[in-house]
Amino acid sequence: MSDERRPFDDALDDPEQRFGTPAAVIEAPDLSEAEKIAILERWRLDALRLCDSEQEGMGGGENAHLAEIERLLLDLGAE
């Protein structure tokens, strides 16, 4: 087995760094629909954690992409 990481693995680690915007995930031709959903779900989780941190006074800040991520997940049929 190779130690090389796939672009999908890198995208799961830090979706915003890899893609910049949620729409760019959808436009990525080298990802399957399931991979796009997984990446957006990860990004959504990260965004929710940032929102929670802000509400608890720990900084972090609101994630401007959360609404877009949720809309794209619905468009892809994710629950």
Quick one: average pLDDT of 66-76?
Answer: 94
Q: DSSP string of 13-59?
A: H-HHHHHSSHHHHHH-TTS-HHHHHHHHHHHHHHHHHHHHHHHTTS-
Q: What is the pLDDT of residues 4-21, one digit of tens each?
A: 557 788 888 899 999 999
The answer as to whether 22 is a domain residue is: yes
The pTM assigned to this predicted structure is: 0.79
Parent domain of 50: 7-75
Name the residue among 44, 32, 45 with its Cα closest to residue 6.
32
pLDDT at 32: 93
Would residue 62 count as lying in a domain? yes
Tell me if 1 is assigned to some domain.
no
One-letter amino acid at 20 equals G
User: Residue 23 corresponds to which tokens in the numbers above?
Assistant: 């729409």
| pLDDT tens figures, 23-56 | 999 999 989 999 999 999 999 998 888 876 555 5
33 domain-assigned = yes
**Would you say residue 79 has pLDDT above 70?**
no
